[in-house]
Each structure stands twice: as C-alpha cells, then as structure tokens.
C-alpha cells in the first residue's frame, strides 16, 4: 500500500484526468469502490474500438477476412452481454440505458460503419508491425514520472506504417482542429514511447474521429508536439499524485460532469442535497 487510501499498483491516463475532472468522483470509484452502472457512451465506444481493431488486425492474417459489420456484431455482443449459467449470452445488468435501448445502440454502430466515407477511411488505416510480428494495435505502454512511485499504464489504439501513433474516438459532434490539438492524452502516449526508445516522426500524433451525426463523418487530425511539453506533463501528473497521496479529494461542481446525466455518483454527492 503506497498511500493510506489508494491501493492500486498503477495509474492510467483516465484516472489522472478523472482526478482533475472531479477528485470526489475519483474517490468514489478508485478508493470507496462504489458500484456504478456503465454509460451507453462508454459501452458504444468500447464496442466501436473493438470492431475497428478486430477488422484491421485480421485483414492480412485471415484467409477470409470478416467485413466491418461482422466485426461490429461480435464486438457489440461482447460489450453488452455476459455469459449466463448455462453458457448463453445475456444482457449485462450494469448498463445505464436511459433513453437508449440495446437495439438503438446497435443500429448506431451499423449505420456509422455502413457509411461509405467511414468504410473507406478505415480501409486507409494501415497498422505497422511490431517487433513481435503482431500488428501495432492496442500497444501497451508504460510511463514513469519523476516523483510518482506508480507507473502510468495505457494502450495506444494504433501505430501506422509511417510510425505515427493514433487514437480512435467516437463523438456525437464533429471535432475542430483546436480540440484535437488540445488533447492531453496525446502527450502521455508520446512520452511513454519516448521512454521506451521508440522514435515518433516529428513527435506527431493522429486522432481518428468517428462522428455519430445523422450523416456519419470520419475525421483525421494530425498534430506535432514539442518534447519540452513533457516537463509540464510530468509536473501535472506529480501534482495529481500528491493530491492522492495526501487524501485530498475536492468536489468540482464547475465541470460538465457534475450533473445527474453524466456523473454516476451524483445521487451520493450533490444529488442528496437537492
């Protein structure tokens, strides 16, 4: 046990950014371990990632590659169901469907992956081969930050044949170039690759954004970064760790997440006083 409260053996980008978003929410999840239902946006994103990664990984390795919709069907089933006592697949009971249904969420995936622009965009992504002769999909990385005793563990969605790492994102609205350039997660990946001795051309990173609008969109943003930004990243992570180590978990009511719609712990926190 490294702190009085936190017993984990590593951090992740999502945990670091989650503490910055609302440390009280972080405490409910990582320390108090309060059970919470999973949002449909997380379920959809997980299934979508799985479908694309499965599709890209098997294009060369399989004699008869599956199409995108087959990969989606498999990934969606994996993300939304669990195995019952008799080995049958049953719908997970920990998903907060709200205004969605299993059918509507599935149809969104089919609609997006059936669009010609999206399909051609995915086909244009060419994963590189790692030293272990596996495609550079879901590549595990580890970042060590001075002053932080735990590693930051993460997974890079893809590294393409030009050596540029990338991340798949699903979004309800189109991204802007500035939004892509402001993503902090990018620095985590680049810093970890740098520590591993992997050279990334121009310190570049690429975002592949799949937009769930009525007419689906496929966006690609490539940004270059400055190695000096790592010093800021390290200081930021260290400050988060110091907060965790000191058992400091302030409520942040100013974030977009502080609402009954977005915070899974709203009823335990702000909601019980309303």
**Contact by Cβ (8 Å): 158, 168:** yes
Q: How does residue 4 score in pLDDT terms, banded at 50, 70 and 90? A: low
Q: Does the structure show a pLDDT above 60 at 201?
A: yes
b (16+ CB within 10 A) / e for 63-95: eeebebeebbbebbeebbeeeeeeeeeeeeeeb
| DSSP letter for each residue of 86-116 | TS-EEE-SSEE-TT--HHHHHHHHHHHHHSH
Sign of the dihedral defined by the CA atoms of residues 20, 24, 27, 28, in that order: negative
* Per-residue pLDDT at 85: 86
Average pLDDT over residues 53-77: 84
Domain boundaries along the sequence of the chain: 131-240
3-state secondary structure of 184: coil
Name the pTM for this structure.
0.91
Sign of the dihedral defined by the CA atoms of residues 86, 91, 92, 93, in that order: negative
Q: What are 88-143's pLDDT values in tens digits? A: 899 999 999 998 999 999 999 999 999 999 999 999 999 998 877 788 999 999 99
CATH 3.90.1150.10 fits 131-240, yes or no: no
3-state secondary structure of 55: helix
**Which residue matches tokens 């620095």?**
187
Q: What are 203-248's pLDDT values in tens digits? A: 999 999 999 999 999 999 999 999 899 999 999 999 999 999 999 9
């Amino acid at each position: 046990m490294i702190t009085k409260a936190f017993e984990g053996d590593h951090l992740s980008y999502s945990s670091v950014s989650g503490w910055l978003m609302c440390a009280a929410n972080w405490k409910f999840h990582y320390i108090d371990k309060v059970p919470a239902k999973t949002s449909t946006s997380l379920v959809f994103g997980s299934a979508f990632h799985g479908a694309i990664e499965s599709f890209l990984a098997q294009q060369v390795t399989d004699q008869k590659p599956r199409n995108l919709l087959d990969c989606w069907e498999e990934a969606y089933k994996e993300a939304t169901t669990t195995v019952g006592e008799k080995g049958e697949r049953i719908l997970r009971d920990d998903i907060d469907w709200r205004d969605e249904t299993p059918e509507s969420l599935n149809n969104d995936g089919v609609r997006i992956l059936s669009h010609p622009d999206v399909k051609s965009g995915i086909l244009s992504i060419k994963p590189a081969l790692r030293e272990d002769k596996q495609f550079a999909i879901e590549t595990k990385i580890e970042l060590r930050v001075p002053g932080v005793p735990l590693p930051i563990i993460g997974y890079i969605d893809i590294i393409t044949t030009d050596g540029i790492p990338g991340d798949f994102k699903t979004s309800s609205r189109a991204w802007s170039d500035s939004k892509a350039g402001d993503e902090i997660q990018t620095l985590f990946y680049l810093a970890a690759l740098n520590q591993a001795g992997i050279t990334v051309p121009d310190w570049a990173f690429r975002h592949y954004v799949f937009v769930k609008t009525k007419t689906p969109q496929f966006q690609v943003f490539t940004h270059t970064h400055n190695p000096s930004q790592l010093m800021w990243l390290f200081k930021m992570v260290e400050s988060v760790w110091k907060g965790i180590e000191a058992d400091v978990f302030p409520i942040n009511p100013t974030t977009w997440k502080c609402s009954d719609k977005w915070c899974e712990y709203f009823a335990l926190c702000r909601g019980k006083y309303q």
